[in-house]
């Protein structure tokens, strides 16, 4: 792995008691990795990530993992806001308009195991920026290969060949982790992650996948706010 240190000044301390329990994947939506790297290291933009992975496979280490990088913005997962407090952000060199390169994906698969091991993060803790901020963000988008990561044990993928009652879809997505205030945005985020290209109202297939995710990886959030 071609790992290079390139410190960003855009970070601060995590709040007391907070430690990484999520990894959030982004795309840069910029013309080059170098442009993205410079933006993530420019104090005037107040944005950063812990890692940036170039299309050619170079991994730029920008912020130490025990520090709070500024990548998630206004966000919520499993009923908790301020995802920056408890996450590691990885930016991927991609504009969102084309497939993610093989060297980039290979490098990501090299980086993730160490992060998950160091912080005891389970595969379901690897999420999309659009998952935690569906009303604001679309990255890494429907072209990102989540199934590949899941096959490597670095993310999760629903395992359901049946159909389920769509009436239970939103409760199941809420249990899995999604904020569900804006159902249109959340449905799009869910499909970009697990059913890219699918459109229309919630289907029995959507419901079956959400049910599997909730049953295997969901948490009891009865008292939490979506």
In tens, the pLDDT along 168-180 reads: 999 999 999 999 9
What is the pLDDT at residue 220? 74
Q: Which tokens belong to 225?
A: 């706010």
CA distance 158 to 166: 16
Active site residue 91: yes
Beta-strand ranges (E) seen in 44-111 are 51-53, 59-61, 67-69, 76-77, 80-81, 87-92
Q: Which pLDDT band, with edges at 50, 70 and 90, does 221 fall under?
A: low
User: Has residue 226 got a pLDDT over 90?
Assistant: no
Q: Which pLDDT band, with edges at 50, 70 and 90, does 223 fall under?
A: very low
What is the pLDDT at residue 184? 98
201: number of Cβ within 10 Å: 7
Give pLDDT tens digits for 48-71: 999 999 999 999 999 999 999 999
Beta-strand ranges (E) seen in the chain are 3-5, 11-13, 22-27, 51-53, 59-61, 67-69, 76-77, 80-81, 87-92, 126-128
Q: What is the DSSP string of 150-196?
A: HHTTSS------S---GGGHHHHHHHHT---SSHHHHHHHHHHHHST
Q: What is the mean pLDDT of residues 110-139?
A: 98
User: Has residue 224 got a pLDDT over 70?
Assistant: no
**Burial class for 168, CB neighbours closer than 10 Å (0-12, 13-18, 19+):** middle
Report DSSP state, residue 45. Answer: G
Judge whether 96 and 25 are in contact, CB under 8 Å: no
- Token pair 């301020």 is at which residue? 82
Burial 117-141 (b: 16+ CB within 10 A, else e): eebebebbbbbbbbbbbbeebbbbb
Give pLDDT tens digits for 126-143: 999 999 999 999 999 999
CATH assignment of 3-151?
Answer: 3.40.80.10
Residue ranges of the domains in the chain? 3-151, 166-217
* This prediction's pTM: 0.95
The residue from 21, 34, 65, 91 that is catalytic is 91
98: number of Cβ within 10 Å: 9
Q: Which pLDDT band, with edges at 50, 70 and 90, does 222 fall under?
A: low
């Amino acid at each position: 792995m071609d790992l290079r240190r390139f410190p960003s000044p855009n970070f601060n301390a995590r709040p007391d008691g907070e430690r990484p329990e999520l990894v959030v994947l982004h795309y840069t939506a910029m013309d080059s990795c170098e442009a993205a790297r410079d933006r993530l290291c420019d104090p005037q933009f107040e944005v950063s990530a812990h890692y940036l992975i170039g299309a050619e496979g170079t991994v730029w280490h920008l912020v130490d993992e025990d520090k709070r990088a500024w990548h998630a913005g206004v966000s919520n997962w499993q009923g908790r806001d301020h995802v920056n407090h408890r996450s590691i952000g990885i930016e991927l060199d991609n504009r969102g308009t084309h497939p993610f390169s093989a060297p980039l994906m290979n490098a990501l698969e090299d980086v993730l195991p160490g992060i998950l091991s160091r912080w005891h993060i389970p595969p379901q803790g690897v999420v999309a920026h659009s998952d935690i901020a569906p009303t604001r963000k679309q990255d890494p988008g429907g072209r990102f290969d989540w199934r590949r990561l899941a096959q490597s044990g670095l993310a999760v993928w629903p395992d359901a060949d049946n159909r389920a009652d769509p009436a239970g879809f939103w409760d199941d997505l809420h249990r899995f982790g999604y904020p569900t205030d804006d159902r249109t945005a959340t449905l799009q985020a869910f499909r970009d992650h697990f059913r890219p290209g699918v459109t229309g109202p919630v289907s029995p297939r959507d419901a079956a996948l959400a049910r599997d995710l909730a049953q295997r990886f969901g948490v009891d959030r009865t008292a939490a706010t979506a």
